[in-house]
Amino acid sequence: MIPPHGENWPDRPAAGWAEILDFAIAAESAGFDGIWPADEFFRTTGRIDVAVDEADDPAMQETYPAAFWDSWTLLAGIAARTSRIEIGTLITSNTYRNPAHLVKILETVDEISGGRVVAGLGPGGDPAEGRMFGYEWERPVSRFEDALPIIAGLLREGYATHHGSFYQVDGCVNRPQGPRPGRIPLLIATFAARPRMSRLAAQWADIWEHSIAFTEDQPAEARRRAELTRRTCEQFGRDPATLEMALSISVAVRDRTIPGANPLVGDPSAIAAAINDFRELGFTRIQVLLTPPTVDGVEAFAPVLELLDR
């Protein structure tokens, strides 16, 4: 479940901590398995949420800048106030943090949560956003590839030495460690799933997350991504059975929609049937971009959970 961690409307401020926490607690109580904020600072294009009866208003179709709270600070608070739900991001932007420091953040939140963190990683999304905050943005995928030996080494082995083009560590040690030394899962997310990112997912990830929430035909794209995962594993000598597949999708309830996407809609049985089809393709984790991202939205979606093959 993706929480309301930023601005959803041009004329409404971002959800505050109390609202975000209520959402996370409601999601855990309803039976959701994870909470997954995006790691964004300031999206410069695109709407997030709009009501059906306003979708045809040209003024509502204009793009606007949307700002966000810091994802890992929020997750530390959520980790302290929940007990079961998994904690992760879709995705942590490598460009925004030194990779060794990121591991320190992951281990700390894993300790707070009692061992519920998933390290959701990617190169980052919006170059304008990165430059706004003063980050070097050139060659983000190359930076990400350079960071992975450090992140994986520290998470899995507890130490790393790496002298790359962008990052260098010499005898770096991951201490103290949380309750799962060497076992925090590494999730790599891909949007367009281009060859280079697909290779990195097959080579490094425990979980390959395919982001299809804003595709025109989510079922067709899910089938394509499942086949892509199998082909890529075969190409790089990875047993597909050792790489878990995840899928982020969009779902709209309470007569809402998502501009630029074709979300799953309908009664609980129709939505559950579509999600069960994704699971039949081999996707064991389904992350939901829910509209509206509110406690009421969680309650409207909750009957779907009872109908899923889990």
CA 9 to chain centre: 21
* pLDDT value, residue 45: 56
* pLDDT value, residue 60: 43
Q: How many domains does the chain have?
A: 1
For the stretch 182-224, pLDDT in tens is 999 999 999 988 999 999 999 999 999 999 998 999 999 999 9
Mean pLDDT within 88-98: 95
- For residue 7, being part of any structural domain is answered with no
Write the CB contacts of 257 (distance below 8 Å, at least 6 apart in sequence). 50, 51, 52, 55, 263, 265, 291
- For residue 9, being part of any structural domain is answered with no
Asked if pLDDT for residue 144 goes beyond 80, the answer is: yes
Domain that holds residue 192: 17-306
What's the N-to-C CA distance of the chain in angstroms? 16
Taking the C-alpha atoms of residue 207 and residue 218, their distance in angstroms, rounded to an integer, is 20
Q: What percent of the chain has pLDDT over 90?
A: 77
Rounded to two decimals, the pTM is 0.92
Task: Check residues 254 and 55 and name the one with the higher pLDDT.
Answer: 254
Amino acid at 25: I
- For residue 46, being part of any structural domain is answered with yes
Over the chain, what is the mean pLDDT?
90
Mean pLDDT within 144-153: 98
CATH of the domain at 152: 3.20.20.30
- For residue 130, being part of any structural domain is answered with yes
For the stretch 17-66, pLDDT in tens is 999 999 999 999 999 999 999 998 987 655 443 333 333 344 444 455 67
- For residue 106, being part of any structural domain is answered with yes
- For residue 279, being part of any structural domain is answered with yes
* pLDDT value, residue 55: 37
Give phi and psi for 30, each to the nearest 5. -75, -20
Strands of 91-180, DSSP E: 92-93, 117-122, 159-163, 168-173
* pLDDT value, residue 66: 79
Give phi and psi for 2, each to the nearest 5. -100, 120
* pLDDT value, residue 12: 59
For the stretch 255-283, pLDDT in tens is 887 766 799 999 999 999 999 999 999 99
- For residue 146, being part of any structural domain is answered with yes
Cis peptide before 259 (omega within 30 of 0): no
